[in-house]
């Protein structure tokens, strides 16, 4: 039932083979085809620009006021590429291996290999666009190392790599809107997917300023709408990040893969009060010099400086002596959560752990630490008002990246024909845990290099510009209009934001870093209750025209349904892997215990009706990499 | 903290708009400025009033979405974005005046939300390297001296928020435009289109209705990313060089 369309042949040749045999369209005929791209982050902008350069018509939609606001902009650390500029033994193969292992053997080998393969050309492309990556005094590009690997393959632009790469893609896109075939629709939100005979043929779009709802037709649809970690409310994501585009596509038949795999970033600032809207990320690089600890005593009220050395528990160093404070993200985050849950948490809300630079300052001097992390310490002070040179930082895990997303085959096409899903919105490359600096890479290669070929291959078999039956069009329009009218008509007493906050807390405590069957069952019934209350008590201020509250309400409505699928997914996977840790399935030392015999598959969910889902499985075959235990002891 | 907020309310682009006073109480000094507005909006919603519309997204100072003229200064008293401004920068009992960006080229859409698409059109006029996907040289075949790469980077950190325009008494977009022209003029990748880029982007900037530059430097002083005034000098040089040696006659 699940056809991945992975080409035959050795893994090193699959992508070359695919490109050599995929169908092409004559340059003069390409302009007859129209592709809709939803989302203007790295994946969407790069795909739209590249398609337009090839000669296709491209209609781009974003709910932002400008393509440059997309959340790719916020990625800090870097982007991986197996250039081996450092002569440190890096190769496509090694990058492929690191990524599959980092994903805890729950990703598709052929896709991961291709991502590593395409990484080389991506760096060339970005530099040609004028992306100012960090350089050595020689004038050549600089690299640094990142978590989970032993080589230096990360290219970076200070702490603003995402912003710089997005500028490159945005400029390519906006250039095509001037000289090419891109027409850009800002402040438009995709409300639904148009599917005719199991083929994606357009979207239902809402103009967020006028409220007007229209049907936009095309020969193929690309969703590059990002991740849904914001479902946890408090997260490192932007306020407007949402799952609505992929969720609406899911409800129209697109399968959703591994929804419960969300990465929690270990070094975010903790929540400081109930009013808080967002958790700010502090760069992971701080863990190179900071030591993470909590008081040994439960509910210890003392200030950190009053707690003597022997009463501190440097739990990462204790549990993972070889990796220590640099243990991978999933493991570090979970360990922190365990300390907080067992009453060792610190800070005003007892929801954090210490990241202490005292020893590093004593060893290297304050000046050295200031040189390395000065900007981060300043940022910490600006946000918290605290001085991290004098007292340890407070850090806490926060929802960050969704490894899950719409299911796609090797061509990045969903089971709905002609619906392509790129970047964080799909599930394909990261397995159950993403390595740092691989998310920018995936978004870029999906957009610039992969989708361009696979979309052309699909379109070559399609008759362009087939008009959709008017009856279908007006029905679809009406459905969206009714949906919004219904939300406006509830006139309860609770804002969408309040529902979102409630859902976030529920998911974070019951289906977050640590999961357990009875608790998950509880979460399920509570989400259903919250859904019920949403339709009874929701308050949206009047107005079909520009109305941020109405936009939010529709997104929260979708989040409430997705939340249920997340819990369902976490329930069915009776093993621990990567970001998914089930309390019942751990080793005697408290580590994640995979069950490869029964769960070496990707869960692929079909939407049957509202709140009812059916599980399919994509079995994962590991032909090239030996599946082993992921140990960082 | 208890505060009085004097906020600009405007129903839509054609409405005249005006200030309205609101009171907020029990505001924590650790709240961000936008979180304080969230609190106000919850209050307004509960009372059945229309919440105040304001732009925001990443809330970590990089997307360029948040704006707000706070007590007469873009992004408030600190040289940062509004999302990174916290209530500890204000005093209990204070009255805070909150306005949208004021510029002809940034029409008010609703309340504190303005339309900044003029910035997109300036970039669209030439703020790029005309390179298609594929067929480019290896990244290390274009060595760039570190000093130049760093300076180009400094210009490239512009987040396009529009504070420079809002700070300027002439509502000039020189700092924004010059940042992109500078970045690409300094890099070898930008040389081929260097002259044409300067001419076209400046022409677009003028046609959008932004004012002229009188070198007061308010733009750079208020820029949350500290984009340097020297970019404007460089842009003027680029423009002059282009106009005396242009291939477009």
Which tens digit of pLDDT belongs to each residue from A377-435? 988 998 888 999 999 999 999 999 999 999 999 999 999 999 999 999 999 899 999 99
Residues of A labelled as active-site residues: 329
Complex ipTM tops 0.85: yes
- CA distance to partner chain B, nearest, from residue A369 (Å): 22
Burial of A310 (0-12, 13-18, 19+ CB in 10 A): exposed
Structural domains of chain B ordered from first start: 3-110 (3.10.20.30), 116-130+139-248 (1.10.1060.10)
Tell me which H or E stretch contains B146. Answer: helix B146-156
**What is the C-alpha separation between A633 and A467, in angstroms, rounded?**
60
DSSP 8-state assignment for residue A340? I
**What is the C-alpha separation between A302 and A305, in angstroms, rounded?**
8
Looking at A150-154, A175-179, A478-482, which range is the least confident one? A150-154
Tell me which H or E stretch contains B52. Answer: none
Q: For residue B234, give every residue at least 6 positions away whose Cβ sits within 8 Å of its Cβ, in sequence order, or none.
A: B178, B181, B182, B185
Q: For residue A486, give every residue at least 6 positions away whose Cβ sits within 8 Å of its Cβ, in sequence order, or none.
A: none
Q: Is A276 on the interface with B (CB under 8 A)?
A: yes
- Taking contacts as CB-CB distances below 8 angstroms, the residues of chain A near B119 are 66
**What is the C-alpha separation between A108 and A622, in angstroms, rounded?**
8
Asked if the Cβ–Cβ distance from A174 to B120 is below 8 Å, we say yes
The residue extents of the domains of chain A are 264-399, 470-619
Tell me the pLDDT band of A544, cut-offs 50, 70 and 90: confident
Quote the tokens at residue A204: 């239902």
Going from the first residue of chain B to its last (249 residues), give the mean pLDDT of each consecutive group of 10, the final group possibly shorter: 98 96 96 97 92 96 97 96 96 98 97 98 98 97 96 97 98 98 98 96 98 96 97 97 79
pLDDT, tens only, A112-167: 999 999 999 999 999 999 999 999 999 999 998 877 788 999 999 988 999 999 99
Q: Is B146 on the interface with A (CB under 8 A)?
A: yes
> Does the predicted TM-score (pTM) go above 0.90?
yes
Q: Is B139 on the interface with A (CB under 8 A)?
A: yes
Q: State which residue of chain B sits closest to A269, comparing Cα positions.
A: B60
To test the contact with chain A by mutation, choose from B28, B58, B101, B146 the residue with the greatest count of A C-beta atoms within 10 A, namely: B58
Q: Is B35 on the interface with A (CB under 8 A)?
A: yes
Phi/psi at B209 (nearest 5 deg)?
95, 15
Q: Is A381 on the interface with B (CB under 8 A)?
A: no
Q: State which residue of chain B sits closest to A132, comparing Cα positions.
A: B153
Instruction: Indicate the CATH number of A470-619 among 2.60.120.620, 1.10.1370.30, 1.20.58.100, 3.40.50.300.
Output: 1.20.58.100
Cα dihedral sign, A467-A471-A475-A478: positive
Q: What count of CB pairs under 8 Å joins A to B?
A: 204
Q: For residue B211, give every residue at least 6 positions away whose Cβ sits within 8 Å of its Cβ, in sequence order, or none.
A: B168, B170, B171, B172
pLDDT, mean over chain A: 95
What Å distances lie between residue A149 and A108, A206, A548, A576, CA to CA? 19, 44, 43, 22
Q: For residue A557, give every residue at least 6 positions away whose Cβ sits within 8 Å of its Cβ, in sequence order, or none.
A: A487, A534
Phi/psi at A95 (nearest 5 deg)?
-65, -40
**What is the C-alpha separation between A101 and A148, in angstroms, rounded?**
9
Instruction: Indicate the CATH number of A264-399 among 3.90.700.10, 3.40.50.410, 3.40.50.300, 3.40.1160.10.
Output: 3.90.700.10
To test the contact with chain B by mutation, choose from A73, A136, A556 the residue with the greatest count of B C-beta atoms within 10 A, namely: A73
**pLDDT score recorded for residue A543:** 86
* Mean pLDDT, residues A205-227 taken together: 97
Q: Is B39 on the interface with A (CB under 8 A)?
A: yes
* β-bridge partners, A185: A61
- Taking contacts as CB-CB distances below 8 angstroms, the residues of chain A near B136 are 124-125, 127-128
Quote the tokens at residue A198: 């199991």
**pLDDT score recorded for residue B249:** 55
Q: Residue B100 in contact with residue B114, Cβ under 8 Å?
A: yes
Radius of gyration of chain B (CA): 20
- Taking contacts as CB-CB distances below 8 angstroms, the residues of chain B near A174 are 120, 123-124, 127-128
3-state class of B20 per DSSP?
Answer: strand
- Taking contacts as CB-CB distances below 8 angstroms, the residues of chain A near B190 are 130
Per-residue burial over A475-506, b = 16 or more CB atoms within 10 Å of its CB, e = otherwise: ebbeebbeebeebbebeeebbbbbbbbbbbeb
Which of A69, A71, A135 comes nearest B144 by C-beta? A135
Q: At what angle do helices B33-46 and A496-510 cross, to 10 degrees?
A: 120
Q: Per-residue pLDDT for A573 more than 80?
A: yes
Quote the tokens at residue B209: 């209705």
Complete DSSP assignment for A210-264: T--EEEEE-SEEEE-----GGGGSSBSS-TT--SHHHHHHHHTT--EE-TT-EEE
Asked if the Cβ–Cβ distance from B149 to A449 is below 8 Å, we say no
Report the DSSP pairing between strands A612-619 and A601-609: antiparallel
Q: Is A253 left (phi over 0), alpha (psi -120 to 50) or beta?
A: left
């Amino acid at each position: 039932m699940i056809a991945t369309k992975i080409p035959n042949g050795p893994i090193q040749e699959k992508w070359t083979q695919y490109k050599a045999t995929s169908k092409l369209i004559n340059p003069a005929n390409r302009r007859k085809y129209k592709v809709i791209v939803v989302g203007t982050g790295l994946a969407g902008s790069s795909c739209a620009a590249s398609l337009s350069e090839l000669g296709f018509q491209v209609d781009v939609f974003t709910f932002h006021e400008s393509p440059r606001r997309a959340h790719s902009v916020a990625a800090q650390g870097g982007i991986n590429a197996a250039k081996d500029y450092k002569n440190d033994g890096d190769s496509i193969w090694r990058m492929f291996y690191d990524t599959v292992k980092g994903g805890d053997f729950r990703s598709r080998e052929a896709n991961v290999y291709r991502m590593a393969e395409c990484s080389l050309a991506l760096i060339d492309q970005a530099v040609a666009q004028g992306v100012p990556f960090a350089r050595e005094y020689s004038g050549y590009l600089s690299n640094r190392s990142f978590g989970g690997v032993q080589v230096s393959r990360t290219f970076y632009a200070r702490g603003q790599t995402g912003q710089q790469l997005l500028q490159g893609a945005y400029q390519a896109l906006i250039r095509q809107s001037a000289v090419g075939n891109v027409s850009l629709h800002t402040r438009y939100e995709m409300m639904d997917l148009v599917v005719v005979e199991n083929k994606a043929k357009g979207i239902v779009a809402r103009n967020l300023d006028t409220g007007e709802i229209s049907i936009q037709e095309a020969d193929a649809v690309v969703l590059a709408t990002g991740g849904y970690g914001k479902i946890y409310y408090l997260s490192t994501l932007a306020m407007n990040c949402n799952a609505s585009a992929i969720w609406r596509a899911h409800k129209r038949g697109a399968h959703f893969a591994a929804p419960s795999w969300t990465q929690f970033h270990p070094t975010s600032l903790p929540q400081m009060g109930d009013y808080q809207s967002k958790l700010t990320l502090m760069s992971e690089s701080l863990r190179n010099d900071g030591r993470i600890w909590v008081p040994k005593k439960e509910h210890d009220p003392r200030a950190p400086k009053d707690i003597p050395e022997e009463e501190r528990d440097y739990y990462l160093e204790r549990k993972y002596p070889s990796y220590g404070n640099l243990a991978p993200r999933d493991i570090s985050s979970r360990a922190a959560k365990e300390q907080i849950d067992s009453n060792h948490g610190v800070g005003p809300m007892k929801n954090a752990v210490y990241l202490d630079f005292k020893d590093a300052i004593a060893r290297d001097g304050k000046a050295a630490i200031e040189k390395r992390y000065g900007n981060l310490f300043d940022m910490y002070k600006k946000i918290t008002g605290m001085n991290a040179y004098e007292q340890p930082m407070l850090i806490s895990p926060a929802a960050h990246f969704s490894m899950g997303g719409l299911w796609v085959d090797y061509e990045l096409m969903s089971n709905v024909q002609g619906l392509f899903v790129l970047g964080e919105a799909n599930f394909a490359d990261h397995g159950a845990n993403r390595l740092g600096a691989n998310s920018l890479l995936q978004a870029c290669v999906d957009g610039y290099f992969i989708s361009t070929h696979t979309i052309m291959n699909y379109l070559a078999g399609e008759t362009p510009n087939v008009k959709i039956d008017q009856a279908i069009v007006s029905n679809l329009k009406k459905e969206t209009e009714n949906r919004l009218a219904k939300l406006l008509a509830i006139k309860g007493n609770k804002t969408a934001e309040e529902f979102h906050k409630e859902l976030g807390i529920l998911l974070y405590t019951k289906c977050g870093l640590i999961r357990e069957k009875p608790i998950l069952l509880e979460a399920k019934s509570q989400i259903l209750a919250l859904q019920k209350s949403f339709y009874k008590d929701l308050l949206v201020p009047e107005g079909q025209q520009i109305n941020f509250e109405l936009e939010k309400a529709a997104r929260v409505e979708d989040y409430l349904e997705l939340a249920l699928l997340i819990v369902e997914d976490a329930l069915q996977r009776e093993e621990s892997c990567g970001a998914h840790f089930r309390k019942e399935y751990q080793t005697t030392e408290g580590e994640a215990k995979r069950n490869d015999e029964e769960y070496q598959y990707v869960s692929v969910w079909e939407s049957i009706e509202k709140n009812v889902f059916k599980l399919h499985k994509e079995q994962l075959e590991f032909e090239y990499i030996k599946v082993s235990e992921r140990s960082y002891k | 903290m208890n505060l009085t907020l004097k906020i600009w309310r405007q129903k839509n682009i054609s409405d005249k708009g005006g200030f309205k006073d609101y009171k907020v109480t029990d505001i924590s000094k650790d709240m961000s400025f936008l979180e304080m507005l969230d609190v106000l909006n919850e209050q307004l919603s509960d009372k059945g009033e229309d919440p105040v519309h304001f732009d925001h997204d990443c809330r970590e100072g990089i997307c360029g979405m948040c704006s707000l003229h706070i007590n007469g200064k873009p992004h408030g008293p600190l040289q940062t974005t509004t999302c990174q401004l916290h209530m500890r920068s204000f005093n209990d009992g204070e009255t805070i005046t909150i306005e949208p960006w004021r510029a002809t080229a940034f029409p008010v859409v609703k309340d504190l939300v303005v339309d900044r698409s003029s910035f997109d059109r300036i970039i669209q006029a030439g703020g790029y390297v005309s390179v298609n996907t594929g067929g480019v040289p290896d990244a290390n075949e274009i060595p760039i001296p570190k000093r130049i790469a760093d300076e180009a980077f400094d210009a490239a950190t512009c987040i396009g928020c529009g504070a420079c325009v809002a700070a300027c008494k002439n509502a000039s977009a020189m700092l924004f435009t010059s940042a992109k022209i500078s970045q690409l003029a300094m890099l070898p990748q930008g040389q081929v289109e260097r002259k044409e880029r300067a001419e076209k982007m400046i022409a677009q900037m003028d046609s959008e209705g932004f004012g002229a530059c009188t070198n007061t430097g308010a733009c750079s002083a208020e820029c949350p990313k500290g984009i340097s005034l020297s970019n404007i000098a460089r842009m003027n040089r680029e423009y002059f060089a282009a106009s005396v040696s242009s291939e477009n006659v």
